[in-house]
Structures are given as structure tokens and as C-alpha cells.
Amino acid sequence: MTVFTNTIVGGRGGAFSRAMQNPHLIFGFVIIGCIALAAVVLPGLLGLDSLAVDPLNRLKPPSVAHPLGTDNFGRDLAARILAGASTSLSLATAVTLLAASLGVAVGIVASFSRLLDHVIMRICDGLMAIPALLLALALTATFGPNFSNLVIALVIVFVPGIARLVRARALALRSETFVEAAIAVGASNLHIMVRHIFPNVLSVLAVQVTFIFAETIVIEAALSFLGAGVPPPAPSWGNILYDGKAAITKAPYMVLFASTAIVITVTGLTMIGDGLRDLVDPRMGARLQPGMARRLFGLIRPRTSEGEQQ
Amino acid sequence: MFTYTLRRAGALIPVLLVVSIVVFSLGWLAPGDPARIVLGPEALEADIQKLRDSMGLNETLWYRYLDWISDALRGDLGTSYFLNMPVSTAIGQHFGPTVQLAVLTIIYALVISVPLGTLAARWRGSGFDQGIAGFTLIGLTFPSFVLSLILVIVFSVWLRCLPVAGYRDLFSDPFNGLRYLILPALSLGTIYAALITRTVRASVLDVLKSEYVDAARSRGVSENRLLFAHALRNAGLPIITMIGLSFASLLSGAVVAESIFNIPGIGSLLVNAIERRDYPVLQGVVLFLTLIYLGLNLLVDLLYGIIDPRVRLTGTVAK
């Protein structure tokens, strides 16, 4: 019955067609796509206002008017969870893009200079010795809690890991024949960095970036929950959990709905990350410990030598 | 062994230097004038200047860093703005509950994970193994603060059998102390239980493949004895590493759980310090937790070197 599974898929195959055969990847993208679409379209379509206060209808359980109930200020919970999704997703996008570009630049430059490499890597070691959540908490507390400071703090937290990973990959690439050939032809360092090293780092980076995206969402929720993230009354999943914790005996559904949103998003991202990893490096798919497990554990564990795949 | 110890410890020096600079800059980057924070909004300008002088705030940054680091090396982390006590004393007072929680969490994680992981390796590929894989996946995708809130809803709100939050000292009141610590330990421990289960399963499987296990099996050693006496014992090294790392990360990972369950530990100290902009406490706690982590990490490395002499020669631990 499974005769066709052994058919050899020819040659390279388009990255797209290989991606289409990866159920994890597709399913993950569908989940995240649906959440993003809902966060963008639904509030306008249904006329939901995440900040409209209705003191007469505080902590009302789910009903027709409020499908997910109302919170302790009488705000519509569905509207707040959707708005929280766009807060989380836009924060994660900003952090991921900034951290990735900075990390790639630092990592590639470090791989080209021995002296710089030593200095940069020791700084990375030091930053990674402080647990991620603790560092993020300390930095946001110092900068003051608002959206852009949150982005800065999380970028500082994530850049060292990316830089280390990119540097390790770049160092390995430098001894490859095609790079040696480019050097022999007399290509400038800048040319080699941009045209030869950079494109070959991207595959490893893609996997890492997905995990950082998920970590950002979890850390944001944790920080907001502790009062050091997105300042209220702005909607964010962590803020909803914070309000929900105060009302946990009267309105447990607040915590349940917000938790569900977080868990679904993280699961979707995990699937994308694992799927991407299979796509980039099929051998690693056979590993017992999936990447996400280590990444989530790494949130509270200092990241001394993690993230380097050599 | 001595040179190995020296080398491992020496590698920490640059790390510590960077950590100290980061922690020092937290205080320097913080908005507001520390002297003004201490004296309050209605203080006289002259008093503020006097306090600035005595706090050393008018010195150059370089001098202030050296001053701070030499104090820190002597164990003096400064004085809290609000608690009226040295930061080190505050940390000492709050460390007990955090350690109690961490120990309880590790015990729970081990009791769950060692049997489950071993049995999953025994019946590899069976329904039981699949079930364990599902459990570990759930344990790893639920962030611990989400899990703790769900546990509170189930056990405290719906079943009403455990308290929502609070803390009693475990030594003076063991029964109630345990009741208050069960939910935090469950919510924190599940992720570690999942992780250790995976480690146990993987390393037991590794050992089961080796030739001496085959030899023992052909001698007629029973399958259960083979599993627990032969395989589990020799799979101990990765498991010990995992436990050491878990314990170290627990001490800092407890921040969120402590604030959810109102446990007066290091995490609560940190969160309160953030709310009150008490920067010396913030700096002290971050430095303290990082040092504990690095220390325990070093200990695990050294332990590895003692158990497995090959590690000492190559200098790095294959994790």
C-alpha cells in the first residue's frame, strides 16, 4: 500500500515543492497565517474596540454580544485577544528582523578578523551567561516599559546567539573551495562577505529566526505578566493574563482564552521551525531532541554554548 | 585534575568581566537620579547634592565602576533604596524559599521522569512510548506561567483542594508548607520532567544498544534487572548533567512562578525591586543569580571531569 513512498525525488527539486511536502511546515504556516489574518481583519470587520470600557458588564462570561466574555473593566475579551495577537506578532517581527540583521553583520565581521573575533565572542559569552528572561527583565526595567524599549531589550538578548551561530557557520564556509577560489581571484573581503558567505548563512539563520520569533512571544507575555512589558491599558497577552490572574476565581475563562492563544501560536511556530530544520538539514530531523525543546529550556537557562551547530 | 579545574575556572574570567559591566550599566542607564529617588520628590537641592557626594555619584564613570566591582568582590552589593538593609542581606533573607521550591521541583521532576524515561526506552515504539512523547511535547510547549495559571484554575478554583497562592515555611509547618508549594513545583517542574524524560530515554536506549548488554542478556539476566541495574546506572552521566543544569536554571526560572504564587523568594524580591525602581537590588539579584548559575555549571563540568577522565584531556564536555 505504500509503494509510492519510496520513489526517489529527483535532484535538488525546488525549495517550494519540497516545502509543500512537509506537513509540519504547511500546518504551522496555516496556523500563524490564520492568527495574523484574524488580528488584522476581524477587529475592523466586527467593529471590536479593545479599549472600550463598559463598567456595567464587568467579568461577564462568554455570551452572544461578547463571544469570549468581558474582562475586569468590561472590555471585550475577544477584541483584546485579537489586538494582543497583533501586539505580539508585530513585536516578534520587529525583534526578529533587527536581531537577525545585526547578528548576521556582527557574526560575519567577527569571522574575518581574529582580534575582533576574540573581543566580540567574549562579549557574546558574557551576555549569554545571564539567563534570557532575567536579562530581558532587567533591561526593560532599566529602559522603562514601552514598545520600542522592549524591542531594544530583546534585540540585545538575542543578538549574541545569532552572532555566534553565524560566526561558526561563516568560519566553516571560509575553508570551502568556492570561497578560497574567490580569494584567489582577488575578490575583496566585502564582496566575499556579501556574495559568498551571506547567502550560505541564510539557511541556518531561517531556523534560528523562527525559534527567536516564538521565544519573543513567550518572553513578551512573561514580561507583561510581571509588569515590565507592554504597559497597560494597551492589549497584550501578558497583560490579559495579569488582569486574569487577579480575577482568577471569578473569571477563569480570561486566563484560559489568553493561554490558549499563546500555546496555539507557540505550537504553530514550533511546527514551522521543525519543518524548516528538516528542509535545511534532513539529517537533523532524526535527532531525538527537537530544536524547540532546547530553545524553550534555554529561556531560563543561560546559553553558554548553545546555538552552535558545528 | 588540578590543571583541568584551573582551566575551566579561568575561562570564566572574561565572562564574569562582561557580566559585571552589563550589571553595572543597568544602574548607570537607569533613568532618574538615585539620590533623588532615595530622598523623595520634596527633598532640598542641597541635601541631594550632599547625598550625591557621599554616594560617589559625582565621580567619573570609570572610578564608579571600579568602586562598585571592588565592593561587589567583598560581597557588598550596596544598600537597597527602600528596604533599609544591604542588598546582600535582602538576598540572604529571600534565598530560602527559592531553594525550597527548587529542591521540591527537582524531586518531582526526577520521580516522574526517571521511571517514565526508562520504561519508554524499554518499550520503544509502543503506544506507551508514543504517549510519553506526547507528554514531553505538551510539557515543553506550555510556558510555565501559562501552566501555573491553568493549574490554579483546576486545583484551586474548580476542585478547591489547594490554596491559590501564598507561602508557609517548610520547616516550621511542613504540612501547610507542602500544600502551598505543590502547585508552583508542579508548574515549574513539568518542563524539567519532560526534558529529563527525554534525556533518560535517549541515554538508556544508547546503553541498551551496547555489546555488554547483549552479553548480559545472553547470560540470562532478566530484562528488568538489565534495564535498571545495567542500563540506567551507566546512563547516569548525561542524566546528572541534566539535573545540575536544571537546578541551576530553576533558581532563576522561579522568578515568574514566585510572583504568581506570592512566594517571598529571590524572584519576588526582583519583581518588587523593578516596581519600586530599586536599582541596587535589581543589580544585586541579577549578579547573584548569574554567579550561582555559572558556579553550578562549573561544578557540573568538574563532576564530569571526575567521573569521566577522558573529558579532562580534551577540555570540553560533549553535551
State the CATH number of the domain containing residue B305: 1.10.3720.10
Q: Residue B68 domain-assigned?
A: no
User: How many angstroms separate the CA atoms of B81 and B277, rounded?
Assistant: 9
Domains held by chain B: number = 1
User: Does the beta-carbon distance from B252 to A259 stay under 8 Å?
Assistant: no
Q: Residue B218 domain-assigned?
A: yes
In the block, which residue shows the cell 545585526? A102
Best of A142, A240, A243 to substitute, by most chain B Cβ atoms within 10 angstroms, is A142
- Has residue B158 got a pLDDT over 80? yes
In angstroms, how far is CA B33 from the centroid of its own chain? 33
List of residues 6+ apart from A59 with CB closer than 8 A: A69, A70, A71, A72, A74, A247, A250, A251
**Do residues B256 and A226 make contact, with C-beta atoms less than 8 angstroms apart?**
yes
Is the Cβ of B164 closer than 8 Å to some Cβ of chain A? yes
Which chain A residues touch B252 with a CB distance below 8 Å? Answer: 131, 133-134, 300
Q: Residue B66 domain-assigned?
A: no
Nearest CA in chain A to B295: A129
The average pLDDT across B183-201 equals 86
pLDDT score, position B155: 84
User: Does the beta-carbon distance from A125 to B248 stay under 8 Å?
Assistant: no
- Has residue B69 got a pLDDT over 50? yes
DSSP A73: T
Is the alpha carbon torsion for B203, B209, B212, B218 positive or negative?
Answer: positive
Cα distances (angstroms) measured from residue B94 to each of A212, B4, B84, B267, B269: 32, 34, 15, 9, 7
pLDDT tens-place string over residues B126-145: 888 888 888 887 777 788 88
Domain that residue B187 falls in: 87-312
Which chain B residues touch A302 with a CB distance below 8 Å? Answer: 249, 290, 293-294, 297
User: How many angstroms separate the CA atoms of B282 and B229, rounded?
Assistant: 47
The average pLDDT across B249-256 equals 78
pLDDT score, position A104: 93
**Do residues B267 and B259 make contact, with C-beta atoms less than 8 angstroms apart?**
yes
| A191: closest CA of chain B, how far (Å) | 33
Q: Which three cell numbers stand for residue B116?
A: 517514565
| B219: closest CA of chain A, how far (Å) | 31
pLDDT score, position B317: 44
Q: Of B200, B23, B294, whose CA–CA distance to A289 is shortest? A: B200
Indicate the pLDDT class of residue B226, thresholds 50, 70 and 90: confident
Number of C-beta neighbours around residue B1 at 10 A: 10
DSSP string, A201-241: HHHHHHHHHHHHHHHHHHHHHHHHHTTSSSPTTS--HHHHH
Q: What is the mean pLDDT of chain B?
A: 82
Q: Residue B2 domain-assigned?
A: no
Which chain A residues touch B140 with a CB distance below 8 Å? Answer: 292-293, 296-297
Q: Residue B268 domain-assigned?
A: yes
Closest partner residue to A248 (CB to CB) among B23, B143, B157 is B157
Q: Residue B1 domain-assigned?
A: no
Q: Residue B125 domain-assigned?
A: yes
pLDDT in tens, chain A (310 residues): 444 444 444 445 566 777 777 777 888 888 889 888 888 887 777 767 777 777 777 767 777 777 777 777 778 888 888 888 988 999 999 999 999 999 999 999 998 888 888 889 888 888 888 888 888 888 888 888 888 889 999 999 999 989 988 998 888 888 888 888 888 888 888 888 888 888 888 888 888 888 889 889 988 888 888 888 888 778 888 888 888 888 877 888 888 888 889 888 988 888 888 788 777 765 544 443 444 445 544 454 444 433 333 2
**Run of H or E residues at B147:** helix B144-151
Closest partner residue to A256 (CB to CB) among B153, B253, B293 is B153
9-68 in chain A: CB under 8 A from chain B: none
Is the Cβ of A122 closer than 8 Å to some Cβ of chain B? yes
Q: Which three cell numbers stand for residue A299?
A: 529561556
| A51: closest CA of chain B, how far (Å) | 24
**Do residues A96 and A105 make contact, with C-beta atoms less than 8 angstroms apart?**
no
The average pLDDT across B210-234 equals 81
Q: Helical H runs in chain A?
A: 15-20, 23-46, 77-112, 114-129, 132-143, 147-174, 177-185, 189-191, 198-225, 237-246, 252-280, 291-298
Best of B13, B37, B145 to substitute, by most chain A Cβ atoms within 10 angstroms, is B145
Q: Of A178, A196, A168, A194, whose CA–CA distance to A107 is shortest? A: A168
Nearest CA in chain B to A237: B146
Is the Cβ of A78 closer than 8 Å to some Cβ of chain B? no
Indicate the pLDDT class of residue B311, thresholds 50, 70 and 90: low
pLDDT tens-place string over residues B257-300: 888 888 888 888 888 888 888 888 888 999 998 888 888 888 88
User: How many angstroms separate the CA atoms of B235 and B228, rounded?
Assistant: 10
Q: Which long-range contacts (CB under 8 A, 24 or more apart) does B9-18 make?
A: B9/B298, B12/B294, B12/B298, B14/A122, B14/A125, B14/A126, B15/A122, B15/A125, B15/A126, B15/A129, B15/B294, B16/A126, B16/B294, B17/A122, B17/A126, B18/A122, B18/A123, B18/A125, B18/A126, B18/A127, B18/A129
Q: Which three cell numbers stand for residue B131?
A: 504517549
Closest partner residue to A131 (CB to CB) among B202, B277, B293 is B293
User: How many angstroms separate the CA atoms of A211 and A285, rounded?
Assistant: 16
User: Does the beta-carbon distance from B252 to A138 stay under 8 Å?
Assistant: no
Nearest CA in chain A to B19: A126
Is the Cβ of A292 closer than 8 Å to some Cβ of chain B? yes
Which chain A residues touch B271 with a CB distance below 8 Å? Answer: 226-227
**Do residues B96 and B258 make contact, with C-beta atoms less than 8 angstroms apart?**
no
| A20: closest CA of chain B, how far (Å) | 24
Nearest CA in chain B to A157: B22
Closest partner residue to A263 (CB to CB) among B142, B164, B245 is B142
pLDDT score, position A8: 46
Q: Residue B13 domain-assigned?
A: no
pLDDT score, position A97: 94
3-state DSSP assignment of residue A57: helix
Closest partner residue to B286 (CB to CB) among A138, A221, A300 is A138
Number of residues that this document lists for chain B: 319
User: Does the beta-carbon distance from A138 to B195 stay under 8 Å?
Assistant: no
pLDDT score, position A284: 45
Is the Cβ of A304 closer than 8 Å to some Cβ of chain B? yes
**Do residues A235 and A50 make contact, with C-beta atoms less than 8 angstroms apart?**
yes
Q: What ipTM score was computed for the predicted complex, to two decimals?
A: 0.81
| A258: closest CA of chain B, how far (Å) | 9
Is the Cβ of B298 closer than 8 Å to some Cβ of chain A? no
Q: Of A296, A298, A150, whose CA–CA distance to A226 is shortest? A: A150
Q: Of A37, A77, A38, A40, whose CA–CA distance to A57 is shortest? A: A77
**Do residues B119 and B171 make contact, with C-beta atoms less than 8 angstroms apart?**
no
Domains of chain A, start order: 15-308 (1.10.3720.10)
Amino acid at A5: T
User: Does the beta-carbon distance from B290 to A130 stay under 8 Å?
Assistant: yes
Is the alpha carbon torsion for A185, A189, A194, A199 positive or negative?
Answer: positive
Closest partner residue to B29 (CB to CB) among A142, A221, A289 is A142
251-270 in chain A: CB under 8 A from chain B: 252, 255-256, 259, 262-263, 266-267, 270
pLDDT score, position A152: 92
185-244 in chain B: CB under 8 A from chain A: 191, 194-195, 198, 201-202
In the block, which residue shows the cell 551496547? B210
